[in-house]
Amino acid sequence: MKLEIYVIEISLRISMENPHLYLMGFAPGSRIPKFVTVTDDQGREVPDAEPPTQKPDKVRVHLPAGVEVMDRMLTSGRELILSRRAFETLAELRLPADLVVIPCEWTGPGAQMIQRDYVYCYADSSHEVLDPQFGRAKRVGKHILSVFDWALKWEVIPELDLFQGETGKWFVKDGFVNAVFNHHLTGFGFTRVPVYSSETANPSEE
């Protein structure tokens, strides 16, 4: 019994020193289409690999028929499409200072299913948080093409509840996850990722 209590105390201490980090994904089993086409108010497709160079007044999002409408809708890139309710809830957290927010206009056969306002969000900033010792990625020179095993480095994690890491992936902290669950926001999924510190070989999730 004494050994069991000791192990719990050590685990709690490590978790307090390092934040809990989560890779933001999508709710399992959602019926959202794999790709959603987003265009600006001139009908030009908004790039999903890079943020727009100029901020459009609004974006149009094509929604096929029979798609489940949730607080977070899927894009094929690094953008976030959030219901106004979700955005206003999460805006109380520490978000990137350069986060751009643009109103959405829905088109397509499923557009009549949208009963709330939505916004399209992107950020120019990203943070190199992958731990080079424990993370595993495919690289071309210094450029990361894809990440196979996410492991984050404690010393470079920004003081934000939502931030963008390598390859345009979004990471969140406990405050973000708690807000999603406490306000019953739909369309979100989270995968815990280990955080390593140079002062200890232990990841925060152990």
pLDDT tier at 78, thresholds 50, 70, 90? confident
Q: Is the pTM of this model over 0.95?
A: no
Instruction: Please tell me which residue, 4 or 82, carries the higher pLDDT value.
Output: 82
Separation of first and last alpha carbons in the chain = 20
Instruction: Please tell me which residue, 8 or 172, carries the higher pLDDT value.
Output: 172
Q: Is the pLDDT of residue 49 over 80?
A: no
Nearest C-alpha neighbor of 168 from the set 78, 57, 81, 79? 78
